[in-house]
Amino acid sequence: MKRFKTWTLLGLALLAAITAQARSLDEVRKEGKIIIATEGQFAPFNYFQGAKLSGFEVELAELVAKKMGVSVEWKALGFDALLAGLRQDRWDLVIASHGITEERSRAVTFADPHYCSGGSIVSLDPAIRTTADLNGKVISVQTGSTYMDNVRKLAGVKDVKNFPQDTDARSALVSRRVDAWVTDKFVASIAIAANPGAGMKLGDFVFIERIAAAVGKGNASLAQGYNKALADVLADGSYSALSKRYFNEDVRCK
Ligand code: ARG
């Protein structure tokens, strides 16, 4: 009986996953609310200020949603769960600094990029600045990130240690458990400025990437509605103002 129940539940979950229909732009508009998931552990892009979700991407998504004529219901989850949840229709959109990759594009539909950046080397040792300097070194990265994928591809790296949160990858560097941390360039600069005593130094890019929000695979209407609203925000000066407030520069893709 117990076995039967388990299988029934599994079957139902599978059916729900297969039949789940991503909500179209019209459906989202009709409800007046878009459900957006992010991580909340990737300052300054998405992080908690006390109990409040904040950051460049959080504020940007609020601006975009406003142009779309809807309010935002936020969900904060582990980085790993975000794109997977889109496939199960647990939220409408994810904005969490995902780089557009071929592999991810097979599973989700990316919107237009909202900033351009890249994975940069951070180290306590001024002699570790370039990808060549990573030879024979131990590197920390966030699990499931493009930093992990790209550092793993480097020949000569001794070991890649991955951590569920980027902040833990940073701690591993600060406590000298690794030789370098690879993370987003802006995340790195802001972490360095916020912890002057830690002695972290910013090195070269390992790779560059275009960062975008994602919707369920094939949810073209929602992607288009979001893209149009993003284009408005990019054109009307509000993106610029927001970006300068966080980074002292405009971080849009050029
Ligand atoms: N840009 C990297 C990637 O695409 C890291 C994103 C990390 N985002 C986060 N919210 N922790 O995988």
Q: What is the distance in A from the centroid of ligand 1 to the CA of 230?
A: 20
Atom nearest to 145 CA in ligand 1:
12
Given this model, what pLDDT does residue 8 score? 61
Distance, CA 79 to ligand 1 centroid (Å)? 8
The protein residue with its alpha carbon nearest to ligand 1, atom 11, reads 42
Nearest one of 38, 75, 30 to 60, comparing CA atoms: 38
Q: What is the pLDDT of residues 116-166, one digit of tens each?
A: 999 999 999 999 999 999 999 999 999 999 999 999 999 999 999 999 999
Q: How far is the CA of 98 from the centre of ligand 1 (A)?
A: 5
User: How far is the centre of ligand 1, averaged over its atoms, from the C-alpha of 52 (Å)?
Assistant: 20
Q: Is 184 close to ligand 1, i.e. is its CB under 6 Å away?
A: yes
Task: For residue 166, count other CB atoms closer than 10 A to its CB.
Answer: 27
Whether residue 72 contacts residue 36, with contact meaning beta carbons closer than 8 Å, is answered with yes
Q: What is the CA(113)–ligand 1 centre distance, in A?
A: 13
Query: In terms of DSSP H, where are the helices of the chain?
Result: 2-19, 25-31, 56-68, 79-87, 102-107, 146-152, 166-174, 185-194, 220-235, 238-247
Question: How distant, in Å, are the alpha carbons of 109, 110, 144 from that of 247?
Answer: 28, 24, 25
Looking at domain 20-116+211-247, what is its CATH homologous superfamily?
Periplasmic binding protein-like II (3.40.190.10)
Instruction: Report the SS3 class of residue 165.
Output: coil
Residue nearest to atom 7 of ligand 1 (CA): 97
Predicted local distance difference test score (pLDDT) of residue 6 = 61
| Paired strand residues for 54 | 47
Does ligand 1 have an atom closer than 6 angstroms to the CB of 23?
A: no
Confidence band of 35 (pLDDT split at 50, 70, 90) = very high
Write the DSSP symbol of residue 209: E
pLDDT > 90? residue 20: no
Å from CA of 37 to ligand 1 middle: 13
For residue 38, the ligand 1 atom closest to its alpha carbon is: 10
What values do phi and psi take at 80, rounded to 5? -55, -35
Mean pLDDT computed over 194-222: 98
* Whether residue 19 has pLDDT greater than 70: no
Q: For residue 157, give the 3-state DSSP assignment.
A: coil
Count of CB atoms situated within 10 Å of the CB of 153 = 11
Ligand 1 proximity of 91 Cβ (cutoff 6 Å): no
Cα torsion angle, 64, 46, 131, 138, sign? negative
Ligand 1: does its nearest atom lie under 6 Å from the Cβ of 96? yes
The ranges of the chain annotated as CATH 3.40.190.10 are: 20-116+211-247, 118-209
Give the mean model confidence (pLDDT) for residues 66-71.
Answer: 98
Output the six-digit token pair for 35.
């459900």
Please tell me the CATH code under which domain 118-209 is placed. 3.40.190.10
Q: 145 alpha carbon to ligand 1 midpoint, in Å?
A: 5
Place of tokens 């557009």: 100
State if residue 162 touches ligand 1 by the CB under 6 angstroms criterion. Answer: no
